[in-house]
Homo-oligomer: A and B are copies of this chain.
Amino acid sequence: MLVHHLYSGGKDSSLAAWILTRLGYEVKLVTVSFGLLDNWRFARETAERLGFEHQVLYLPREVLEKAAEIAIEDGRPNNAIQFIHEKALEALASLPEVGRVSDGTRRDDRVPLLDLSKARSLEDRFGVAYIRPLLGLGYKTIRELTERLFIVEIRESEELEKADYEVELRHIMREKGLDPLEIFPKRHYQSRVLGWREKGI
């Protein structure tokens, strides 16, 4: 029972990966890249520390270009992040070896998050199961599980140490001569999983 799990190296996608192993699934972590930067390496490093297999899924630069257009049009990044996540799930689900896709999206997330009809549509169009281990968990439950499981480093934001979509999205906006700070809210702290606190898999 192999699952391909979209992975950023953050707490949520790490917790979701752990839950999948606890349910008996074999888990392959997959980090999306548009090939502009190599920030996927932060996800790989965390994946290796946690003992998971890891691969990079390259998406076409046009997807990122389109996302940047959406973010500029909207003046905020939410719909752009949602757009990239849907394209990432579709690209992963369309691979012939993939029968189950997963991610770390949460009940309390606004984006990225597929509503019920989009989730079913993903499953139906690509013949996959779509598993979201965190969807039924609130922030208290996620916090108590991550605190038990992971050693987490919290530090002031340094953009390049993350492997989420936002990093390349900011990058392409700077390439276009735009200031990402006009669109992205300023975040002071971010967290990164460094390893297991108690041996998890």
Contact = CB atoms under 8 A, between A and B. Distances in A.
A19 B16 CA distance: 13
Interface residues of A, number: 27
Nearest to A19: B23
Report whether over half of chain A's contact residues are helix, strand or loop; otherwise say mixed.
mixed
A136 interface: yes
Interface in A129-157: 129-138, 140-141, 144-145, 148
A120 to B, nearest CB: 7
Contacts of A120: 108, 138
A11 to B, nearest CB: 15
Interface of A: 1, 19, 22-24, 100, 107-108, 116, 119-120, 123, 129-138, 140-141, 144-145, 148
Given A1-B144, A107-B119, 12 more contacts: A23-B145, A24-B145, A107-B135, A108-B116, A108-B120, A123-B138, A131-B136, A131-B137, A131-B138, A132-B135, A132-B137, A134-B136
